[in-house]
Structure 1
C-alpha cells in the first residue's frame, strides 16, 4: 500500500524546493521520548479497586486517544510536506529569444509638418503618418529591445533600448515637430544612436545592433558629418537602415503643393544610400504611407523578431495540497471529540 502511494505521489510531484525540512518529521516522536513525562500534583484518593477503574477508563478512552494520535501524526506529516514545498514540473515551453538592440531615429525637423500624406482617407502631416506606421511596427517587435531617438537641430534619446514597448510607443506619441529644433542633424542622430546601442549592448553580438533612421530632409546642422557617423557605426557593428520619407519634391504653401526650388533637394538620397551601404544596411524611399508601411514590413523580414529560445520546464508549486489536507485533519480532530460528548 505504501509503495502504491509513493508511486502515485511521484506521478504528480517531481521534487521539493526545501527537502531538508522533511528532517522535522520525527520531532514529535523525539520530544515524547526525550522530554520527561508530566506528573500530576493534584491530590489523589486511594481506593482498593483503583486498578480496575484505571483499566476500565483505558478501555473506554483508548480508541479515542488512538484516533486522535493518528490524526495528529497525519496532520504533522502533511505540514512537513507542505513546508518542504512540493513542486511539479510543467510542460516544456520555448520563450522567444531575440537579443537584438534596436534604435529608431525619427526626424522632428520643421519639414515633418508638411501635410502631404494620406492616412485613413484624409490628408495628414508627415510626422502623423510616420507615427502611425512606426506604432504598428512596434506592435510586431515582441522579444526585441527597442529604443527611440529624435533629432532636429540636436539629437535626444527619449527611450533607451527596452522590452517595455508601451513606454516607447507613449514617447513616440508625445513627440511633436520642433521638439529637437527646426533643422536636421542626421550625423548627430546616427552618432548618438550608435553610442547608446554600444553602451547598452551587454554581451550581444555586434551584428545584432540595428538603427532605423527616418528623415525627410538634408543634413544642415550638428557637429558630426553623416558619413563620419556611419563610419563610427560600421566600426561598432551597427547596421543602419535609412528611410527617406516625403513627397516628390513638393512643398505646401497655404494648402497648395508647389515644387521645391531648384538647388534645394528635399531629401539627400545619395548620402542616405552611402550611410546604409557602408554599415551593411539598406536604403529605402517612401513617398506615401503605404510605401512606408511596406518598408517596415521589409525590415521586419530582414531583422527577424524572434527565434526559438532554450526549452524551459517551469516548476509549479503544489504545497497547497498537503497544507489543505493538514487543515482538514486538524478541523476533524477538533470537531470529533465534541461530537462524541454531544
Structure 2
C-alpha cells in the first residue's frame, strides 16, 4: 500500500486557488497581490484563451506533483519476518560407504539410507524457521558444506546435492563433532545444538569421539544422535535368500553416551516412518522460536512525482519560449 510520511503537506494543494481568488484592495494597488503573467498565460497572447487554459492546467498539475513529492509518498510492503538470534543448529551427515545400503522404504519403494535422509531431513530443515542452520558432511574427514545461515533453502539444496563417496568411505564421527564445536565458538549467546546422523562407528579421523565429546561438554553443546539402519533385510546369495542385519556395525553405545553427556537424546531410525517421528519429536524438544519480529519494507516514491513535475516544468518553459518567439516574429512582420 502507498502511504505519505508527511501527509499534512497535502493541505497545501488548494493554496494557488486561494491566492487566485483572494480579492485585492481597490485603493492599495502597490500592496495588492498580483498574479504573475506566467500563471495567467497572458505573456502568450491575450487573444488565445485556449492557450491560457492549457497554461493553467499545466501549472496546476505541476503544483500538485510538487506537493505530492514533498509529502514523501512511499510504498509499504508486506510484513517480513526478521530472523531472531535464538538457536544455532548444526547438522552432521554421514556420507560413508554404508549409507548406500538399500534397507529403507520411501513412498512405496526401496531406497538407500542417504536418499531417505535427503527427503525427510530436507522437510525438517524447511520447518526450522528462525534457526541458524549449518551442514557438515563427514566420511574419511569432516568438512563444512554450509556455514551457519538463516537461508534454509540453501542448506536443503546443499544436502540434496551430496553424493556418496564425496568425502571417502570411512566414518569420522569425532572429527564431525569437533568441527561443529569449532564453528559454534564464534557465537557465545545462543542455544547450540548438534544433530548427528550416522549408520556406523568411528573408523577414521584425527580426533576420537571421546575427545570430541569432552570438547562439546566444555562448550555447552547439546548433541542429538540418530542411528540409521534397519534391523534386518533380505540378501540374495548363491545359497538363496537369507536374513542379515545391515546395522551390525552401528555403534549405538557411543552414540548414546554422546547424547546423554551433552543433555541430548539418542534416536534409532529403522525406517522412514521412525525417522519422521524422530524429526517431529526434535521439533518438540528444540521448538522453533515463536517470538518473531516483523518489519514492513519501505520504498521511497517521491522521485516519481518530482521527476514528472520537473519534466512538465521544462516542457512548459520551452512552450512559453516558443510562443514568445512567434509573437515577436508577428510583431516584426507587422
Query: What's the TM-score once normalised by structure 1's chain length?
Result: 0.68
- Name the CA distance, whole Å, in 1 between partners of 2:262 and 2:45: 94
Pick aligned residue for 1:186 from 173, 180, 200: 173
Partner of 2:4: 13
- Name the CA distance, whole Å, in 2 between partners of 1:253 and 1:227: 38
Structure 1 pair 139/13, CA: closer, same or farther in 2 (3 Å)? Answer: same
Structure 1 pair 155/313, CA: closer, same or farther in 2 (3 Å)? Answer: closer
Q: CA RMSD in A?
A: 4.0
State the Cα deviation string for residues 66-117 of structure 1 (Å, max 9, x = none). 98489558626844863x6714584894625343322111111121111111
Listed as ranges, the gaps of 5+ residues in structure 1 are 1-10, 20-55
1:1-342 equivalences under 5 Å are: 12-15=3-6, 60=46, 68=55, 71-72=58-59, 75=62, 78-79=65-66, 82=69, 86-88=72-74, 90=76, 93=79, 95-99=81-85, 100-199=87-186, 201=187, 205-206=189-190, 208-248=191-231, 252=235, 256=241, 258-260=243-245, 265-319=248-302, 322-323=305-306, 326=309, 330=313, 333=316
- Name the CA distance, whole Å, in 1 between partners of 2:182 and 2:234: 34
8 Å contact from structure 2 (residues 125, 156) kept in 1: yes
8 Å contact from structure 2 (residues 136, 145) kept in 1: yes
Describe the SS at the equivalent of 2:171. Answer: coil
Partner of 2:34: none
Describe the SS at the equivalent of 2:185. Answer: helix
Structure 1 pair 216/60, CA: closer, same or farther in 2 (3 Å)? Answer: same
8 Å contact from structure 2 (residues 82, 294) kept in 1: no
- Name the CA distance, whole Å, in 2 between partners of 1:312 and 1:167: 23
Describe the SS at the equivalent of 1:307. Answer: coil
8 Å contact from structure 2 (residues 75, 301) kept in 1: no
Listed as ranges, the gaps of 5+ residues in structure 2 are 10-41, 327-334
Structure 1 pair 188/88, CA: closer, same or farther in 2 (3 Å)? Answer: same
8 Å contact from structure 1 (residues 85, 317) kept in 2: no
Structure 1 pair 228/66, CA: closer, same or farther in 2 (3 Å)? Answer: same
How many matched pairs?
Answer: 285
Structure 1 pair 314/174, CA: closer, same or farther in 2 (3 Å)? Answer: closer
8 Å contact from structure 2 (residues 130, 150) kept in 1: yes
8 Å contact from structure 1 (residues 116, 252) kept in 2: no
8 Å contact from structure 1 (residues 114, 251) kept in 2: no
Q: CA deviation at 1:57?
A: 8.7
Query: What's the TM-score once normalised by structure 2's chain length?
Result: 0.70
Partner of 1:44: none
Structure 1 pair 221/75, CA: closer, same or farther in 2 (3 Å)? Answer: same
State the Cα deviation string for residues 30-58 of structure 1 (Å, max 9, x = none). xxxxxxxxxxxxxxxxxxxxxxxxxx999
8 Å contact from structure 2 (residues 231, 245) kept in 1: no
8 Å contact from structure 1 (residues 105, 211) kept in 2: yes
